[in-house]
Amino acid sequence: MAKQYIEKGLLVPDHVITRVMMSELENRRGQHWLLDGFPRTLVQAEALDKICELDLVITLNIPFETLKDRLSRRWIHPPSGRVYNLDFNPPHVHGFDDITGEPLVQQEDDKPEAVAARLRQYKDVAKPVIELYKSRGVLHQFSGTETNKIWPYVYTLFSNKITPIQSKEAY
């Protein structure tokens, strides 16, 4: 069901993604987890509130053009699911999978026009969610354009806010 939206470069509707996420999170009650990209809307945040209380929320403020350029340079090898980025993880031979030599494709939702539309839509729906978590005092914002410059700050926050979890093998 989600695939039909993704292929058109649209965000998956709340009712679809919320149902999937709530089911997965209910199965993980009592476990620690990290969510990436959820919740994106107030409806999703309200559903999440019913099953847990978030300890920490992070948002990355990255310029629109930087995001659009990065996402538009993503190509995939459909049979294997391997993902390439022409800037960060380019194939050895442009346009072809490193292992099989088969052609790479750019999904419709990774084309520049679709990426731009998706980013604009995301910004509109995410703003109230960001404000919600800001008002609760759990939001931490980081700005930049380079992962290696933002990550040390995120890592320090994690290190100071989250108690390390020992694996069961360590007992």
Residue 48 within a domain: yes
Query: pLDDT tens string for the chain (171 positions)?
Result: 777 877 776 767 888 889 889 999 988 888 888 898 899 899 999 999 998 889 899 999 999 888 888 888 999 999 999 999 998 899 999 999 999 999 999 988 888 888 888 888 888 989 999 999 999 999 999 999 988 999 999 999 988 887 776 655 554
Q: By C-alpha distance, which of 123, 118, 126 is closest to 7?
A: 118
Domain count, the chain: 2
Q: Could you tell me if 80 and 145 lie in one domain?
A: yes
- How many CA atoms lie within 13 Å of 19's alpha carbon, on the beta-carbon side? 6
Q: Could you tell me if 132 and 143 lie in one domain?
A: yes
Q: Which domain holds residue 25?
A: 1-29+37-52
**Chain center to CA of 110:** 14
Residue 64 within a domain: yes
d(CA 67, CA 145): 9
Q: Could you tell me if 45 and 91 lie in one domain?
A: no
Predicted structure pTM score: 0.73
